[in-house]
């Protein structure tokens, strides 16, 4: 039976002070969570601090990116083994901001997926269409292409234990979330697409929604049968709002 996962993507936000304040607030608000995974992905700079601050809590540690190389002359990069070493478990890859600003290709993202699996870490694979693609009716085509980049190189079993985050680019940071029905239709398409390769893996894979999720719209989104929690940007920086989203996911308890 799959559980929802609510993960905070802090992006390029934070300071040592903010990390200790926000984690203290989250621990206070989320002393116990049932039936829902919770994780936060602070900037890599603060992972070790966050690991210590999270010790003994029900909140797992995540990160926002990884390099495809494990070691060597790759200035500025962070390896999967380093992320594992500092206790990160859930690693976001393929976020639209990286696809856009860092020109990450489907191929590079599938290599990141492979390196994470190899290191025993959980890839959180972000996929989703731009506004223009949405208007041209290409949502399903884009999502299928982004998933197939992984399945064609690594095989469908690579999806076992991984997380997919469907994040329509037009909904990220805009305050304009997809409607629950819109999101559900795409999530169902994604699950059915994976089921063409392996029905058991498709039934178990966590498919998060991301894009302007907040404490007001979370309950309705999580009531949809194929929406398994959320990848949360802006609202993950406020302890109360993030905790309310986690509680909404926990209350939704789907089978």
Q: Kindly name the residue from 97, 104, 111, 167 that is annotated as catalytic.
A: 167
Task: Please say if 197 is a catalytic residue.
Answer: no
User: DSSP label at 39?
Assistant: E
233 binds ligand PGA (CB under 6 A): yes
When CB distances to ligand PGA are compared, the closest residue is 233
Q: How far is the CB of 197 from ligand PGA (least distance, A)?
A: 26
Q: How many CA atoms lie within 13 A of 83 on its CB side?
A: 34
Closer of 139 and 177 to ligand PGA (Cβ): 177
- Residue 37 host element (H or E): strand 37-41
Question: Which of 93, 150, 232, 248 lies at the binding interface for ligand PGA (CB under 6 A)?
Answer: 232
Residue 231 contacts residue 194 (beta carbons within 8 Å) = no
213 binds ligand PGA (CB under 6 A): yes
231 binds ligand PGA (CB under 6 A): yes
Question: Which of 234, 239, 247, 249 lies at the binding interface for ligand PGA (CB under 6 A)?
Answer: 234
| Burial (CB count <10 Å: 0-12, 13-18, 19+), residue 227 | buried
Closer of 94 and 233 to ligand PGA (Cβ): 233
* Stretch 149-208 residues interacting with ligand PGA (CB under 6 A): 167, 172-173
Distance (Å, rounded) from C-alpha 108 to C-alpha 106? Answer: 6
Task: Name the residue with tokens 């893996």.
Answer: 201
Task: Please say if 95 is a catalytic residue.
Answer: yes
Q: Kindly name the residue from 77, 95, 102, 220 that is annotated as catalytic.
A: 95
CB neighbour list of residue 80: distance below 8 Å, 6 or more residues apart = 66, 67, 70, 91, 115, 116, 118, 119, 121
Closer of 201 and 210 to ligand PGA (Cβ): 210
212 binds ligand PGA (CB under 6 A): yes
Residue 214 contacts residue 235 (beta carbons within 8 Å) = yes
Q: How far is the CB of 134 from ligand PGA (least distance, A)?
A: 15
CA distances 24 to 21, 28, 31, 142, 239, Å, are 5, 6, 11, 39, 9
Closer of 177 and 201 to ligand PGA (Cβ): 177
Distance (Å, rounded) from C-alpha 208 to C-alpha 50? Answer: 23
* Stretch 4-43 residues interacting with ligand PGA (CB under 6 A): 9
Distance (Å, rounded) from C-alpha 9 to C-alpha 6? Answer: 10
Closer of 177 and 224 to ligand PGA (Cβ): 177
Catalytic sites, residue numbers: 95, 167
- Contacts with ligand PGA by CB under 6 A lie at 9, 167, 172-173, 210-213, 231-235
């Amino acid at each position: 039976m799959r559980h929802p996962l609510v993960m905070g993507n802090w992006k390029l936000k934070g300071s040592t002070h903010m990390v200790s304040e926000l984690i203290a607030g989250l621990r206070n608000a989320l002393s116990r969570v049932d039936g829902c995974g919770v994780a936060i992905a602070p900037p890599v700079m603060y992972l070790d601090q966050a690991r210590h601050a999270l010790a003994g809590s029900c909140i797992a540690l995540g990160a926002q990116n990884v390099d495809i190389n494990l070691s060597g002359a790759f200035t500025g990069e962070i390896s999967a083994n380093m992320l594992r070493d500092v206790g990160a478990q859930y690693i976001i890859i393929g976020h639209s901001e990286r696809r856009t600003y860092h020109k990450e290709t489907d191929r590079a993202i599938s290599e990141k997926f492979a390196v994470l699996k190899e290191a025993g870490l959980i890839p959180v694979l972000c996929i989703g269409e731009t506004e223009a693609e949405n208007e041209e009716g290409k949502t399903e085509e884009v999502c299928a292409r982004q998933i197939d980049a992984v399945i064609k190189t690594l095989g469908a079993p690579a999806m076992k234990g991984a997380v997919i985050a469907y994040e329509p680019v037009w909904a990220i940071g805009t305050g304009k979330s997809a409607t629950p029905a819109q999101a559900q239709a795409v999530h169902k398409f994604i699950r059915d697409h994976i089921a063409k390769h392996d029905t058991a893996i498709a039934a178990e894979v966590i498919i998060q929604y991301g894009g302007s999720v907040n404490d007001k719209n979370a309950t309705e989104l999580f009531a949809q049968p194929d929406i398994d929690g959320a990848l949360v940007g802006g609202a993950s920086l406020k302890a109360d709002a993030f905790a309310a989203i986690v509680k909404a996911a926990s209350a939704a308890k789907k089978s």
